[in-house]
């Protein structure tokens, strides 16, 4: 019996929390999706490999997980979406947030770091699907 065995039941609720945050991140600018999907998968591998397989086969999150696992990067569309989310989230915060100027600078600095981080990730080129060869 491994030392991690008693912790396995704790990973399933964490996976649920991270998955909820990932889904929210799809709709809310400024809330990242990718890290929460990765954390969801990490927890599911340790608690429910069956659910992890379902996550990896999903049309929305499967390609993101496979690209990250294979090349530690994002597809161009995911990068553009992340950068657009940063711009939209920061714009809304600065225009409607009634933030003091130090908080505005903090928001801009955090956004600049986030944009730099996303920009520097490797860009994954989608590989064409190949037909199985007939023998």
pLDDT in tens, 61-102: 999 999 999 999 999 998 998 898 889 889 998 999 899 999
Kindly report, residue by residue over 18-72, the tens digit of the pLDDT. 999 999 988 877 778 888 999 999 999 999 999 999 999 999 899 999 999 999 9
Q: Does this model's pTM top 0.75?
A: no
Beta bridge partners of 9: none
Give the C-alpha separation, 74 to 81, whole Å.
11
Q: Is the pLDDT of residue 128 over 80?
A: no
d(CA 8, CA 43): 8
| CA dist., res. 86 & res. 113, Å (int) | 10
């Amino acid at each position: 019996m491994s030392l991690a065995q008693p912790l396995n039941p704790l990973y399933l609720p964490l996976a649920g929390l991270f998955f909820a945050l990932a889904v929210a991140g799809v709709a809310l600018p400024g809330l990242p999706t990718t890290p929460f999907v990765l954390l969801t998968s990490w927890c599911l591998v340790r608690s429910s490999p069956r659910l992890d397989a379902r996550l990896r086969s999903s049309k929305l999150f499967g390609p993101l997980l496979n690209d990250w696992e294979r090349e530690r990067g994002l597809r161009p569309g995911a990068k553009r979406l992340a950068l657009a989310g940063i711009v939209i989230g920061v714009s809304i915060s600065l225009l409607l947030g009634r933030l003091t100027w130090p908080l505005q600078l903090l928001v801009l600095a955090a956004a600049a770091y986030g944009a730099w981080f996303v920009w520097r990730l490797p860009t994954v080129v989608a590989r064409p699907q190949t037909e199985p060869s007939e023998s």
